[in-house]
Amino acid sequence: MSSDEAVQASGAGLKTATKWRVNWAFTVLEGVLWMWSILVCVPYWLANEDYAYGWFVPVGMFLFLWMRLGSQDRQFWVECGREARGTWTLSPWLIAIPGLMLFPLEVYREEYHQSGVVLWGINLAKVAFSMAGAWWLGGRRLLMVTLFPLLFFLTAVPWPARLAHPVQQNLMIGVAQVLNEILLWMDVPVRTQGAVLELTNGTVGIVEACSGIRSLQSGMMVSLAVGELMWLTRRHRAVLVAGAIGLALFSNLVRTFVLCWIVEKSGSDAMHAKHDLVGNTAMYSLYGLIFLWGMWLARGRQGIWPRQDAGSWGERIAQLSWDHVPDFRPLLGVTVAMFLTVHGWYRVLEYRAKPQTKPAFEVLAQGGTGNEKQEFAGDVWAQLGATEGESLVRRDGSAPMGMVSASHLFWRPSAMSRTALHHRPDVCMPGSGWKSEGEVGETTVEVSGHPLKFVVFRFSREEKTGRRVQALMLWGVWRNGQPVPFDFSDKLTALPEKYGMWPTDRHMLGIELVSVMVPYEKGPAPLELARAAVPKMFLYKPVLIEGNRGGNP
């Protein structure tokens, strides 16, 4: 090569090496959107034990990207740079238009508190954007190398409630039924009501956290990670994932059986004392078995390791087709502007918010009222996360089955108050074997001289004896003293609260919930009896809140 050619080659290399720096907007936008995708999942990873494993997923994603890209030789990067995909010829401002949609999307996410559908929309869009970036930079070659790590991140995204709730309910009831048969086969007296096992010395309630969905989701994530770390074949990866699903279901069954055995032999207090130990042992044993199975499948197979002969990372990146990446500066500007506008608005609302800090309802449980206070089950109370609450039973001879039950819950503004309305009867009652019947209605009940709105639910279930029992429930929810508007006709959302497209302070305010349930066997639903029971079980005194918009009812 002549000296002139060497100079030209050097100049071309220098020019290529600076291309990725010139197109800085794409790099920054990638970082901003990945940060957004992770941050919108963080509240679930913090508050929901089912998704606590999510903290490890971004680390795994970047580790797998580093391993895969680092193991490619110099020729791979040269070929990626040659796979030109056509230069973007349309105005970059056309690309910026989707950025305007971030305003209502981010508002809906905040108002609806981490809607599963919205979270999946955000994260699927982010993964698609990264896949498009890989295609622009290195064509099909780079896309196929980065595909698994990008898709792996989706294992940390919470399932939409419309999918998660039915799976949870079916797992809860399925585990209870299987254990019922096993315990009866072992001559252990047991009766099952939905997902509740009634034993001689106590009961074991299988709530959402104990349904096995946590083992199922985290087990699938671990099996995918182990398959990548061990660099298994596609067939072996499929075998490992399928096996992990089976092991997850089996480990949860064993865990619940051990807890039932402890209740039968030592009582409920002993079970609660050992609950976490048994659960953690089952969980980590599951992970260990998946890892050992992955090692067995990988026997004799070498993994992938970063290469040193492909040049520095800067040299590798500089060989990609940066000329074919569109100009994302307008989209980056619009994206940042939308985020700042939405969250600046929320900061102002938070500063102005005047939340309710004490309940307006008071339970009537003194002598002579006929009402008896009862304790919430520990696992149920933990799931609710309420600031305070009471459970009542009223012995009433006029009731069809001689009793009326009620509950009262209050949440001060907190992370748990944002999910308070997720605990709906039509979602939670199936865990006790109840099935929703008919349309959801409304009624007004006068309590302490105040007309209050309640939602009316109807349920039924089959007892072990074959007897069919029904129940009518009045369910009322107030935010800062104002009734929460619901629309149960919308089947696409798991939380039927009505929302607009503008930021509000609703998740910064107090939440109060009251429910009254009357079981019966035959005849019309005892709506009037339920309405009459509310003022016999509760007092209502509006809480004066400074600056409360709209006042109390």
CA dihedral 376, 381, 387, 390 (to 10 degrees): -20
Collect all residues with Cβ–Cβ distance below 8 Å to 502 and sequence separation of at least 6.
107
Q: For 51-70, write each residue's pLDDT tens digit.
A: 889 999 999 999 999 999 99
User: What is residue 1's DSSP assignment?
Assistant: -
Residue 442, strand partner residues: 455
The amino acid occupying position 155 is T
Residue keyed to tokens 């599963």: 116
Helices (H), 393-486: 425-428
Helices (H), 101-209: 102-111, 116-152, 161-185
Report the C-alpha gap between 520 and 460 in whole angstroms.
9
Distance in angstroms between the alpha carbons of the first and the last residue of the chain: 88
Q: For 276-320, write each residue's pLDDT tens digit.
A: 788 888 889 999 999 999 999 998 777 777 777 778 888 888 888
C-alpha pair distances (Å), 359 with each of 180, 227, 356, 533: 40, 52, 8, 20
Its pTM stands at 0.79
Contact 535, 348 (CB under 8 A): no
Q: Which residues of 334-359 are buried (b: 16+ CB within 10 A; e: fewer)?
A: bbeebbeebeebbeeeeeebebbeeb
C-alpha pair distances (Å), 14 with each of 10, 17, 469: 6, 5, 79
Q: For 309-355, write each residue's pLDDT tens digit.
A: 778 888 888 888 888 888 888 999 999 999 999 999 999 999 998 89
Residue keyed to tokens 């035959």: 522
The ranges assigned to domains in the chain are 3-160+306-352, 163-297, 361-540
Report the C-alpha gap between 379 and 431 in whole angstroms.
13
Contact 514, 553 (CB under 8 A): no
Collect all residues with Cβ–Cβ distance below 8 Å to 474 and sequence separation of at least 6.
443, 445, 454, 455, 456, 515, 516, 517, 530, 531, 534
Q: For 344-363, write each residue's pLDDT tens digit.
A: 999 999 999 889 989 999 99
Q: Which residues of the chain have pLDDT under 70?
A: 1-22, 83-89, 113-115, 193-194, 205-212, 378-379, 431, 464-466, 489-496, 498-500, 545-553
